[in-house]
Amino acid sequence: MKKIYLLLITILGLFLCNDQNYAQDTTWFKNVTNQVGLSGVKSFY
């Protein structure tokens, strides 16, 4: 039972320490189009 508990703790630790932490943050980019005066600006290239 103790080994199973340690295994679960290890798995949880590995999950929390995953360096791909982008999954925990959805605010990396903010749409500031209106704020900078580019709303409605047409562009193709």
Partner 1 sequence: MVADVNNDDYPDLLSIWTGNIYGKDNMRVYINVQDTNSADPLDRIFLDITPITGINANIIPDSAGHRILNAVFADVNNDGNIDMITGNDTYNLESYYDNGDRGEVLLGDGTGAFLTVPDNGIHTAILNNPTGHSMLDYDRDGNLDVFMGTFFKNYNSNIWNHGFLYKGNGDGTFTDVSSPAGLTVKNEPDYGCQVTDWNNDGWPDIITSPYCRNGGTLWKNNGNGTFSDVSAITGYDTQFMQGDNGQNLCNWIAAPEDFDNDGDMDLMLALVHGGNDANEGRSTIVINEGPTAGYHLHWDLNRVTWDAPKSTHHGDYDVSWFDFDNDGLEDMSLQQGHYMPASDRLYMFYQNPDHTFSDINAELGFIGDTTFANTHASEPLDYDLDGDDDLIFAKDGTVKTYLLRNEIGNQNNWVTVKLIAPAGCNYNSIGARIYVYADSLVKMRDVYAGRGNKCGQQPFNLVFGLGAHNSIDSIVVRWPDSLFTVTTAVNPPINQIVVIDVNGYVANVPENHSDVAENIKLYPNPAQDHFVLQGINNYSLNGVAAIEIYDIGGRKISNFSYYNNNSTIAVVNVSKLDQGAYITRIISKEGGVITKQFIKM
Nearer to partner 1, 10 or 18 (CB): 18
Contacts of 39 (CB under 8 A, 6+ apart): 33
33 with 39: CB under 8 angstroms?
Answer: yes
Structure tokens of 35?
């704020």
Instruction: Measure the CA–CA gap between 13 and 36, rounded to whole angstroms.
Output: 42
Of 5 and 29, nearer to partner 1 (C-beta) is 29
Q: Which is nearer to partner 1, 4 or 19 (CB)?
A: 19
Binding residues vs partner 1 (CB under 8 A) = 19-20, 22-23, 25-33, 35-38, 40-45
Q: How far is the CB of 15 from partner 1 (least distance, A)?
A: 15
